[in-house]
Amino acid sequence: MLLASNGLGVPPVFIVKFTDGIRWIDVREVNAGQVSLAGCGQVRKGASIEDVEPIIEVDVRRMRVLAD
Is residue 29 helix, strand or coil? helix
Model confidence at 46, in pLDDT bands (50, 70, 90)? low
Average pLDDT over residues 44-48: 64
pTM value? 0.71
Domain chopping of the chain, boundaries:
2-67
Starting at the edge strand that comes first in sequence, how are the strands of the sheet with 21-26 ordered? 13-18, 21-26, 64-67
Q: Which residue type is seen at 40?
A: C
